[in-house]
Amino acid sequence: MGHLKGINRVGPNAILQSAEALRALGGQDTVERVFEGAGLLGLLEHPPQDMVPASQAARLHATIARDLPPGLALEIAHESGRRTGEYILAHRIPRLAQWILRALPVRLSGLMLLKAICHHSWTFAGSADVTHHPADPMELTIHDNPLAVTGCAWHCAVFETLFHRLVSPRLVVEHRACCAQSGRICRFVFHRDR
């Protein structure tokens, strides 16, 4: 699904929610400066409605990390990921499924959510191979993550939002390996706060 017509594609929220987070935390001038720096100014006039080339989302995320002060860049990536998670909850996961996940024991709910995330990974990882490991703690691995930026704050915030709302607010997401730091995988570990 994430690989259409030879182009690796991801869901438009990787761009749309970044624009909203930039606007909320940095103002319209910051949005325009960052989108121009990423070569994506046209997307502000005509926001994407469908899947977008992963390279566009990757350029935007990299430009945020490169061109903004580190603290602001991290805050924007986190807010964009949080907004993406909220969008998924509001529009992509049926209410009944959300209710069931909340009612299940934490471990079972977490495993079911990880499986669903892997099944729909094209939205945030394009055609990258995404796997989950049911060990304790649970893990999710993105091989050759097309949207990797050091720390992957956007991915962490998406996962945190989903897990906090559907599994347990006590679950912590740690990013323990990163494609952006000379690795082949991004590895996310999910465990309960001690």
- Relative orientation angle of helices 28-37 and 54-67, to the nearest 10 degrees: 120
The residue range of the domain holding 69 is 3-192
Helix ranges, the chain (H): 13-26, 28-37, 42-45, 54-67, 70-91, 95-103, 106-119, 122-125, 153-166
Domain count along the chain: 1
Note the pLDDT of residue 183.
Answer: 85
Note the pLDDT of residue 45.
Answer: 94
Q: pTM, whole model, 2 decimals?
A: 0.94
Q: Per-residue pLDDT for the chain (194 aa), expressed as one digit of tens each?
A: 444 456 899 999 999 999 999 999 999 999 999 999 999 999 999 999 999 999 999 999 999 999 999 999 999 999 999 999 999 999 999 999 999 999 999 999 999 999 999 999 998 999 999 999 988 999 999 999 999 999 999 999 999 999 999 999 999 999 999 999 988 999 999 998 86
CB 140 within 8 A of CB 117: yes
Q: How many CB atoms lie within 10 A of CB 194?
A: 5
Structure tokens, 132 = 């989950």
Q: What CATH number does the domain containing 41 carry?
A: 3.90.1520.10
User: In the chain, what's the furthest Cα-to-Cα distance?
Assistant: 46
Note the pLDDT of residue 137.
Answer: 94
